[in-house]
Structure 1
Amino acid sequence: SCLRGLDAAPGPAGGERERRLRRDLAHFSAIAAVVAAGAGIPFSTRLTARAGILALPSLGALHTARSGDVPVDVTCTEGRLVLRQADAPDVTVHLESGVGAWSGALAWTPAHALPGLTPTAPPLPLDDLDPYRELPDGPGHGDLRTPLALDDAERKRWLQAWSGTALALRAGGAQRLAEAGALLRCLVPLETPPDVGTGRGSCSATRREAFGALLSSTPPDPVTLAATLVHELQHAKLAALSDLVTLHRAGPAARYFAPWRADPRPYDGLLQGTYSHLALAAFHQRRALVGGLPDRDWAWAQHARYRAQVGAALPALVGSPDLTVRGRRFVDEMAATHERMAEHPAPRGHVARAQAYVAAARTLWTRRHASALPPSNG
């Protein structure tokens, strides 16, 4: 956000936007200090704690004695940082390999990480400290909750779910585990919405401007977390691809039916959602085909629903005149992938219930948004 601010039209000198931009740009000094410390370069510098917190990415955060923006002098020598502020004891932070840094001071909160997804993978940051994990106006994803500061109990729940995620991903296809290992760089905890309940529900998101970071509420179990990774990494991949090539020239008008949403979607939103749901359909189908899976029936039900939802959305995507040549090839391959899933169909009962679910969703959506429904969307 601060880099975008450099391109914005200049505002009044000393105005709120200028103050926010200066504070945001000051965070780059903290990043530079972390890089220098990690490289073993001795230095002394002055940083600024934002709203009483000096966040040092991948190391931790200092809670200052005073609120507001507080200057903090930082010295790095021989594998340790000394953080000095007015009217407070010095805080000595001992650097460690990987994520996190240790200090005996109560004012210091170390960064936390989950074990590597595979035995050879590096630890994965579980970031509940960085001030830029939340944009000024909140997550910006509708019903998602704000980023969450974890306590020990929440961290334990994350670790319990994470410990079985690699196995759950592998059951859904070896490429799922490889993909998560290659693309995932950071997990950002979110508050759990009150309407999620106690089952396998969760909320999650990705940001185009933070490739490799994934926001998620505390996952109830490894399979849910694995499915979240599959879902959100699809969004990240498609966002990256869309930055490289033009797939379509459709406008932003929200007028398409998506069975997983109550509101009309723009073409790009429909493409994103269909792509991620297609991956979920494939993920659960692969899991359902694994012999002896305890929740095999549930996996079939999930597959049937996601596949039915994708089937309802594909006609609008395939029939669009706004696709480019590359976009046409991309969407046609999505349709072919959807068709190939019929080689291993779900039990008829699950298919019937999934089709009824999508039909009911379409009927309700049409009643609410009849004027928005385009002819190509049925």
Structure 2
Amino acid sequence: MVFPGFTPVPRHVLDLLARTGSDDESLELLLRGQRARRLLLLRLLLDATSAAPPAERSRFRAHWDLLEAAERSGPDAREAVHRGLQHPLVGPWARQALAGLTAGRPADLGFFGAVVVAAAVRSGLPFRTRLSTERGELHLPGLGALACGPDTDVSAHFDGAVLRLIPAADRVVTVRPQPEHGAWSTDPGWRAAHALPALIPGGRPVPLDDLGPYRHDAALGIHAATLDDVGRKRWHDAWSGPLTALLQHGHPHQAAETGRLLASLVPVAVPEEAGPLGYCSGTRRDAFGCVYSSLPPGPLGVAEMLVHETQHAKLSALTDLVTLHHAPPDARYFAPWRPDPRPLDGLWQGVYSHLALALWWQGYVLNTPDGFERKRGWAEYARCREQVTAALEQLAGSTDLTPEGRRFADRMIAAHRRLEEPPRHHRHRAQAYVATARELWGHRMRQKPNEPL
């Protein structure tokens, strides 16, 4: 396989990203960096299979050969293969497998075969291979999942149009891939992968990833949900209508930025503490392009969530290419949006996403007629603006920033200074909110001075 290198970040790109903006050049640079990291990770995993049992090592390398054959079968096929390897949830699996092999523990190398088969199907290359399962289900990313019993070997035959999966001598499951995403089968054990509509014209559908074992992360408290038809319809309803137009309130490239960076949405259950109208969302550094979220309330809530989480993805991708600071990991900072102390990385992520939210809410209120929704927008805008004010003071005062980090912080400060002044009563309420958060945080720190980050 061809492994692209890492590209330095030009100053004008750094400045644009610091203002939470983007363009085609900056997005392509971030995406190219993530593609290079993923391919490098897979190459390290290939090398590490020398420590795997002989049968597992042999099958892994056979699947690698199939991957390379699919990649060589044409330009469109190569793009399809690389898109399959860039699926966000391949990242958590590859890191876990590499960590297991390095530590001498068992690793789920069989999942690589499923990833390769899904990518090879999209490439159109006919093939025959064998797959293994560990959890009683064969999950083919972007196609679907087949219930087939634990520790089952599955034969996979693809003729260029139809995939046949043979988990047992008396069972042949015929799977028909659909354009762009998903695959259908009449077999009752098959569950098709689903996707949400593309956010931008000419864009790709957004996989609604409610299948597969690598959606969960117990360490991060992530327990992904498996949706029924009603749950998928609710996501489709919230995703439809004015969503793309709502995204544009932040900056003109916001919808294009989200459409290019968002590669997967993993639904999660609504936490009880969120209340009937609340939701939770997040990202994972090892699953670039994936957003974890419970269902926000309507298109406005979905747009707000996407603006927030896209900034986390952007900053994570950037900091894989540029070092912004050398702060010790145990340094603690007050973040007005969190009750717990944050390391500098966490503070920076929060400042960046809330600055983008402030810009987005500002655009929303300036384009919304008087009424309840505009009042709500002013309240949200004033709160985000005041939170960023409090957090930027700490960021600007840090002596741990690199020259690139100082430049980045200065451009964030300049963008913040250009924000509109909110109405006085909204500003006073936001200031009181942040003051109360600071007081509660100080009390918590006095009670638990050594609380782990």
TM-score by length of 2: 0.75
- Equivalent in the alignment of 2:443: 367
Question: Where do 5+ consecutive residues of structure 2 fail to align?
Answer: 1-91
Relative to structure 1, is the Cα distance of residues 238 and 11 closer, same or farther in structure 2, using a 3 angstrom cutoff? closer
Cα offset for 1:78?
4.4
Residue type of the alignment partner of 1:288? V
Matched residue type, 2:143:
L
Asked whether the equivalents of residues 121 and 160 of structure 2 are also in contact (C-alpha less than 8 Å), the reply is no
Report the AA paired with residue 305 of structure 2.
T
Report the number of matched residues: 355
> 1:8, CA displacement in angstroms?
6.1
Pair 335,121 (structure 1): closer, same or farther in 2 beyond 3 Å? same
SS of residue paired to 2:376:
helix
The alignment partner of 2:273 has SS state of coil
Instruction: Report which of the two has the higher share of helix.
Output: 2
Q: Which runs of 5+ in 1 are unaligned?
A: 374-378
Paired residue type of 2:132: T
For 2:304 and 2:384, how far apart are their aligned partners in 1? 12
CA displacement at 1:252 relative to structure 2? 0.9
Secondary structure, in 3 states, of the residue corresponding to 1:94?
strand
Deviation, structure 1 residue 172:
3.5
1:184 aligns with 2:266: no
Q: What is the match of residue 351 of structure 1?
A: 427
Q: TM-score scaled to structure 1, two decimals?
A: 0.89
1:376 alignment counterpart? none
What displacement does 1:88 show?
5.4
Runs of 4 or more above 3 Å deviation: 1-12, 370-373
Query: Which is worse superposed, 154-163 or 117-126?
Result: 117-126
Residue 272 of structure 2 aligns with which residue? 194
* Letter of the 1:186 counterpart: S
SS in 2 for 1:90: strand
Are 2:138 and 1:54 equivalent residues in the alignment? yes
The aligned runs of 1:1-378 (5 Å cut-off) are 1=92, 3-4=94-95, 5-6=97-98, 17-18=105-106, 21=107, 23=108, 25-64=109-148, 66=149, 68-86=150-168, 89-135=171-217, 138=218, 140-142=219-221, 145-164=222-241, 165-199=243-277, 201-292=278-369, 295-341=373-419, 344-370=420-446
Deviates further, 320-329 or 78-87: 78-87
Per the alignment, in what secondary structure is the counterpart of residue 44 of structure 1?
A: strand
Distance in 2 (alpha carbons) for counterparts of 1:332 and 1:186: 32
Q: How much does 1:7 deviate?
A: 5.7
Q: Please give the alpha-carbon distance, in whole angstroms, between the structure 2 residues aligned to 1:44 and 1:69.
A: 20
Counterparts in 2 of 1:10 and 1:35: CA distance versus 1, 3 Å:
closer
Equivalent residue, structure 1, for 2:32:
none
User: How far apart, CA to CA, are the structure 1 residues paired with 2:402 and 2:201?
Assistant: 42
**Alpha carbons 1:264, 1:372 under 8 Å: kept:** no
**Aligned-residue RMSD, C-alpha:** 1.9
* 1:199-228 Cα deviation digits (max 9, x unpaired): 2x2111111112111111122211111111
CA distance in 2, matches of 1:300, 1:240: 31
Give the partner amino acid of 2:181: V
Q: Give the superposition deviation at 1:171.
A: 3.2
Distance 1:107 1:3, change over 3 A: closer
- Please tell me whether the aligned partners of residues 264 and 289 of structure 2 are also in contact (alpha carbons under 8 angstroms): yes
Structure of greater relative contact order (alpha carbons < 8 Å, 6+ residues apart): 2
Mapped to 1, the partners of 2:446 and 2:415 lie a distance apart of 30
CA distance 1:26–1:176, shift in 2 (3 Å): same
